[in-house]
Amino acid sequence: MKNPFLRHTGIIGKWHLGHHKDFLPLQHGFDEYYGIPYSNDMWPFDYDGIPIRNKDTTSVKMRYPVLPIIEGNEKVDEVRTLADQDKLTTTYTERAVTFIEQHKK
């Protein structure tokens, strides 16, 4: 008989407690993770979507990598454009609803 107190945990969205594998959610008690490992403004683009290298080579954003989207412990996609940014909320919402439906009992 399955333990009625056993729960399935998941996180969808920004995880800002470290982006290396040892610091990701699956190593800290979560069963599932889908999201970005730090703020979605920490990428090498300005707020208008123009790459920093085309505007300001002195910006700290020049050191930022392309923003990864992680599922579990693996990079599955990247946020490269403002259109990609726009999709995050919808994707997170769809993933959250699916998670709830799968684990609602």
Question: Is 1 inside any structural domain?
Answer: no
Question: Is 69 inside any structural domain?
Answer: yes
Q: Please state the domain count of the chain.
A: 1
In this predicted structure, the answer to whether residue 102 has a pLDDT above a threshold of 90 is yes
Range of the domain at 80: 10-103
Question: Is 52 inside any structural domain?
Answer: yes
Question: Is 79 inside any structural domain?
Answer: yes
- pTM of the prediction? 0.84
More confident: 62 or 11: 11
Beta bridge partners of 23: none
Question: Is 53 inside any structural domain?
Answer: yes
Distance separating alpha carbons of residues 18 and 14, to the nearest angstrom: 11
Question: Is 2 inside any structural domain?
Answer: no
Question: Is 5 inside any structural domain?
Answer: no
Question: Is 66 inside any structural domain?
Answer: yes
37 burial level (CB within 10 Å; 0-12, 13-18, 19+): buried
Q: Tens digit of pLDDT for each residue in 31-58? A: 999 999 998 888 888 878 888 877 777 8
Q: How high is the pLDDT of residue 37?
A: 95
